[in-house]
Amino acid sequence: MIRRYSYQSLRFLLFLLSCVGPEKFWPTCIVDHSLAEGFSQPDGIGGVMSPMDLHTSFFGHHTSKQSCAHIVNVGKPRPLRVSITDFGAVGDGKTLNTKAFENALQYLHSNADSDGAQLTIPAGRWLTGSINLISHLTLFLENGANILGSEDFNDYPIIPELPSYGRGRELPGARYSSLINGDNLEDVTITGENGTIDGQGGVWWKAFRNKTLDYSRSHVLELIGSQDILIFNLTFQNSPSWTIHPVYCKNVVIKNLTVLNPNDSPNTDGIDPDSSQHVCIEDCYISVGDDAISIKSGWDQYGISYGMPSKHIQIRRIVSASKTFGIHAGVSFGSEMSGGISNVKMGSALQNLTRTWRIH
């Protein structure tokens, strides 16, 4: 008992230390009772478990029902629904369906009323380049649906650098758009019956390693300046770099996801809330090549002058087999938190490696 208590105290202390970091722009980590969850080692986790075992052990038998998912109001079912097949898409894994996605979203944008619309993706392998979502949308991946990112970089338009970074993350200047993008949206749900969104990142990792990229790598999902976002009950995999990147967003719930990037894939963080506020991440299994979750807020003088912190972030019941599960404290990635980070609450967070919190 005493040993266990000391172990928890040590981890608690380490977490507090991580809150004061070297950056003067990192004001506070407010710690509440939900934090205590994060420092008790649940029984029965250990040895080799499959993602499903871990899912079951958490979603099946976990007693704590505490949840932050209410910060997004999901509203009524969407009255207008179409399938991607209505727009000529072919789910053979070879036909490029970018145009079908564009036409479907354009149609929904023009025809939906204020309750919005649903784009359904049935079982199949739907290859596409970069797509741009619309407001008041549910993107629904049925059982067996796979959205596959094109392996041709030309299918990802070049977009401007983020103002809080002042450059691409890896190279100066502009950057590749993501597979799925949302810019200045509200009321968007991305969900389904455990469908998969697959960035097919292999070509990106190769090009990154052999230094043949002209611009910074893409993400599987990037939402910029958007609010009331729910990402739920899906699998994201093989991201070119960070997998899910909400930046300048508000009211974001990321729940019951599986995120799978190979352990040796470069910089493939799971979820990176960046200069975002009121973010709830819970009940996820994350096995990636870098941080499971990394909270950010811009880079150097750009992050400081943009001045948008990440705050009111809640994280609980995360199972991670990633290299690190942590909050970057600015040193290893330069200062991708120059806009500040405050009020982060951590619930049960586990990983399969010795180092749970990454402290710089």
Ligand X SMILES: *[C@@H]1O[C@H](CO)[C@@H](O)[C@H](O)[C@H]1NC(C)=O
State the residues that interact with ligand X by CB under 6 A.
48-49, 51-52, 55, 59, 193-194, 196, 203, 206-207, 210, 212, 233, 235, 256, 258, 287, 321, 352
We find the least distance from the C-beta atom of residue 88 to ligand X, in angstroms, to be 26
Complex with ligand X: residue 4 or 209, whichever CB lies closer: 209
Provide, rounded to whole angstroms, the least separation between the CB of residue 216 and ligand X. Answer: 15
Beta carbon of residue 11, minimum distance to ligand X (angstroms, whole number): 19
Cβ closest to ligand X, residue 105 vs residue 321: 321
**Residue 92 annotated in active site:** no
Nearest approach, Cβ of residue 130 and ligand X (Å): 17
Q: Which among 155, 228, 274, 290 is annotated as catalytic?
A: 290
Nearer to ligand X, 96 or 203 (CB): 203
Q: What is the 3-state secondary structure (H, E, C) of the chain?
A: CHHHHHHHHHHHHHHHHHHHCCCCCCCCCCCCHHHHHCCCCCCCCCCCCCHHHHHHHHHHCCCCCCCCHHHCCCCCCCCEEEEHHHHCCCCEEEEECHHHHHHHHHHHHHHCCCCCEEEEECCEEEEECCEECCCCEEEEECCCEEEEECCCHHHCCEECCCCCCCCCCCCCCCEECCCEEEECCEEEEEEECCCEEECCCHHHHHHHHCCCCCCECCCCEEEECCEEEEEECCEEECCCCCCEEEECCEEEEEECCEEECCCCCCCCCCECCECCEEEEEEEEEEECCCECECCECCCHHHHHHHCCCEEEEEEEEEEECCCECCCCCCCECECCCCCCEEEEEECCEEECCCCCCCCC
Q: Please report how close the Cβ of residue 67 comes to ligand X at its closest, in angstroms.
A: 11
Pick between residue 271 and residue 304 the one whose CB is nearest to ligand X: 271
Measured from the CB atom, the residue of 191 and 314 that comes closer to ligand X is 191
- The set of catalytic residues is 290
